[in-house]
Amino acid sequence: MRIPPADILGIGAVSGYGWSMDELWSGLLSGNTSIASYSDLGGQFPDPCWLSRLPEGGDPDSGSTRYGRAVTAAADEAIADAIGRGWRPGERVALLYATTGADRELWRQRYLGPEPGSPRRWFVEQVWTTPAARVINRYQFHGPSMVVSAACASGLHAMALGQRLMATGDATDVVVVSADVGFDGEEIRAFANLNALVYDSPPQEVCRPFHGDTRGFIMGEGAAALVMAPARQPGVEAHVRLLGSAMGNDAYHPVSIEPSFTHLLGAMDTALDRAGVAREQVDFYSAHGTGTSQCDEADITVAEHLGKQSVAYCFKPMLGHTMGTAPLLEAVITARAYSEGLLPASAAEPEAHPQLARGHMPHPGGITAQLGLGFGGNVTAAVYEDVR
């Protein structure tokens, strides 16, 4: 079944590079990763520990932690961008909030080092719905709101759900926001025990998607937001158009990918079919790109399935793996690439897979396919086209 396309009108981001989309873009263009080695983080953090960490910043009135402030900052930037491009919110603007966890920093403050204060306020601040509710109240949106959690596919899942809310009429417009901030040492050590995350080596030695010798990923923090509206509204200038999307599950294992990749390829083909796009028309492939051996094999399989004409790229070596926020950060970067006519891809070694982008390159528009994967077998695919 075809689902009407949606235009992405506004984008915003908070990343290890800083508190705006411009800082993210400039960081990618610099060619320098946002991942750094940190010492004295306290708790159970390895010392030193490599990660991409949000710097302090944001509006103190938006929350007492970086997590709460980042949600509002990304949403504010995306909404302001959309309004500047001619968007006028409809009667039922939905807000979909994607995350893999609540405010981890706040929980640690409350339960490991409690301070005097109002327990009633504590509870309200720490629940998942509060960051989204702050944005809703700020802008008086009255469409449906929900928290979307599909592990590391969460941000792309939320986009796909937003497209469907507009198709059914439950929403006139959709704001998608995602944040994963405040990971602690216990999480990092536990994740490392799965042989997926690496915390004791720099990214150029660890996360090397499409290179064959990749070892995994380094943790990252981030927030992203975008505004979606029905396509082709008069007087509105979009960054990019979401043509089609698909969601699924490989029903295989809590943390492993089904090795035939049948369901990954099926989700991608379904998204392409809904978009009315043939595989040989795909110009770019936005890979999940965690750098684990399983994900690398899956990404290469999908890239080759799309065809030799598709150029693959990924940003986790630059941003770290920002969990459920990762696919939304990658979506807003893709949207900016269409607007700028430039893809700020990472440099690649000569031995990399031939479809991997070798570094910054012109972005002429065309079609992009994106894949999101998450623990629990979650799979999401999306297809974009330029609007020029």
pLDDT in tens, the chain (388 residues): 789 999 999 999 999 999 999 999 999 999 999 999 999 888 789 999 999 999 999 998 888 889 999 999 999 999 999 999 999 999 999 999 999 988 888 777 777 765 666 666 667 777 778 888 999 999 999 999 999 999 999 999 999 999 999 999 999 999 999 999 998 888 899 999 999 999 999 999 999 999 999 999 999 999 999 999 999 999 999 999 999 999 999 999 999 999 999 999 999 999 999 999 999 999 999 999 999 999 999 999 999 999 999 999 999 999 999 999 999 999 999 999 999 999 999 989 989 999 999 999 999 999 999 999 999 999 999 999 999 7
pLDDT at 278: 98
- Non-local (6+) Cβ contacts of 113 within 8 A are none
Q: What pLDDT shows up at residue 152?
A: 97
**Contact assessment for residue 64 and residue 72, using Cβ atoms and an 8 Å cutoff:** no
Q: How many CB atoms lie within 10 A of CB 112?
A: 9
Distance, CA of 161 to CA of 167 (rounded, Å): 10
183 close to 219: Cβ distance less than 8 angstroms: yes
Check residue 108 and give its pLDDT: 76
Inter-residue contact 217 to 367 (CB < 8 Å): no
- State residue 184's pLDDT score: 87
Task: Give the chain's domains with CATH numbers.
Answer: 6-385 (3.40.47.10)
pLDDT at 356: 98
Can you give the pLDDT at residue 179? Answer: 96
**Cβ-contact 99, 27 below 8 angstroms:** no
Order the strands of the 240-249 sheet from edge to edge. Answer: 145-148, 93-98, 173-180, 222-230, 6-14, 240-249, 378-385, 367-374, 284-286, 311-313
What is the pLDDT, as a whole number, of residue 15? 98
Q: pTM here?
A: 0.96
φ and ψ at 162, to 5 degrees? -60, -40
Write down the pLDDT at residue 130: 85
Q: Is-contact 162 144, C-beta < 8 A?
A: no
Structure tokens at 86: 């001619």
Assign residue 36 a region: left if phi > 0, alpha if psi is -120 to 50, beta otherwise?
beta
Residue (of 186, 222, 15, 218) closest to 98 by Cα position: 222
